[in-house]
């Protein structure tokens, strides 16, 4: 039986105030992330022993090997499980500013400038239809790339085709912002830049 557990938040629920409110963080973590955790365990429970003790990233990278009858559920809940773990670590109290080092150079090379990168990330994330995520990823040639992904589909599912590694993810599901920002997704995205943990992004880029 798969036994994934809800990862701890690396800070208190109110740590990202006023940009992301404590109530949203608490519900997002204890209800939504918990639901993806439970859903992943349930979906994997239908499969044989070879799927029970795998790392979730390995499962997502090899999503094409998951039997078809549960592939959709594993894609959704496994993606949600891993996306949120990345998301919590992509943020910190007193974050924001600009990256430095290798990831900053890669962003400049791919997008022209940090400001141009921000515009692209922000515009396309706000433009996601329905629910999904915006991602800064590292591509096969070691460069920076922006992608959006629908629903909870993880960038890791594009590993075999494109060798994409997720670096920085932004959850634009309404549950990530609705309590504080209601329908104003753009205001949430604008505020979110103030909590981005660029040290974590730099570490993920180097790894």
DSSP state of 164: -
As a whole number of Å, the end-to-end CA separation of the chain is 30
Please identify, using beta-carbon distances, which residue of 28 and 158 lies nearer to Mn ion. Answer: 28
The least distance separating Mn ion from the CB of residue 13, rounded to whole angstroms, comes to: 15
Subset of residues 11 to 70 that bind Mn ion, contact rule: CB under 5 A: none
Q: Is 133 in the site for Mn ion (CB under 5 A)?
A: no
CA distance 86 to 102: 20
Residue number, nearest CB to Mn ion: 171
- Residue 77: Cβ-neighbour burial (10 angstroms; 0-12, 13-18, 19+): buried
Helix axes 34-45, 68-89, angle to 10 degrees: 150
Q: Which two tokens stand for residue 14?
A: 């109110």
Binders of Mn ion: how many residues, by CB under 5 A? 2
Helices within the chain (DSSP H only): 22-27, 34-45, 56-61, 68-89, 101-111, 114-126, 159-162, 178-181, 185-192, 198-206
Question: Any residues with CB less than 8 A from the CB of 71 and at least 6 apart, and which?
Answer: 63
The least distance separating Mn ion from the CB of residue 40, rounded to whole angstroms, comes to: 14
The least distance separating Mn ion from the CB of residue 113, rounded to whole angstroms, comes to: 30
Binding segment toward Mn ion, per CB under 5 A, in 49-57, 92-100, 111-119, 171-179: 171-179
Please identify, using beta-carbon distances, which residue of 20 and 44 lies nearer to Mn ion. Answer: 20
Subset of residues 86 to 115 that bind Mn ion, contact rule: CB under 5 A: none
The least distance separating Mn ion from the CB of residue 32, rounded to whole angstroms, comes to: 5
Please identify, using beta-carbon distances, which residue of 121 and 173 lies nearer to Mn ion. Answer: 173
| Residue choice 168, 171, 177, 181 for contact with Mn ion (CB under 5 A) | 171
Contact set with Mn ion (CB under 5 A): 171, 173
């Amino acid at each position: 039986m798969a036994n994934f557990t809800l990862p701890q938040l690396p800070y208190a629920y109110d740590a990202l105030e006023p940009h992301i409110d404590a109530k949203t963080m608490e519900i997002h973590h204890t209800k939504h992330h918990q639901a993806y955790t439970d859903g992943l365990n349930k979906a994997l429970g239908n499969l044989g022993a070879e799927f029970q003790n795998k790392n979730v990233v390995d499962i997502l990278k090899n999503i094409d090997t998951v039997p078809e009858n549960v592939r959709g559920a594993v894609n959704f809940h496994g993606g949600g499980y891993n996306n949120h773990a990345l998301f919590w670590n992509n943020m910190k109290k007193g974050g924001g500013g600009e990256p430095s080092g290798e990831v900053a150079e890669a962003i400049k090379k791919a997008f022209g400038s940090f400001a141009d990168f921000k515009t692209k990330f922000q515009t396309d994330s706000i433009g996601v239809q329905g629910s999904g995520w915006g991602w800064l990823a590292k591509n096969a040639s070691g460069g920076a790339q922006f992608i959006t992904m629908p629903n909870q589909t993880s960038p890791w599912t594009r590993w075999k085709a494109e060798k994409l590694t997720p670096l920085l993810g932004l959850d634009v599901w309404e549950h990530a912002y609705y309590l504080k920002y209601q329908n104003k997704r753009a205001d949430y995205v604008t505020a979110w830049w103030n909590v981005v943990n660029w040290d974590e992004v730099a570490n993920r880029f180097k790894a």
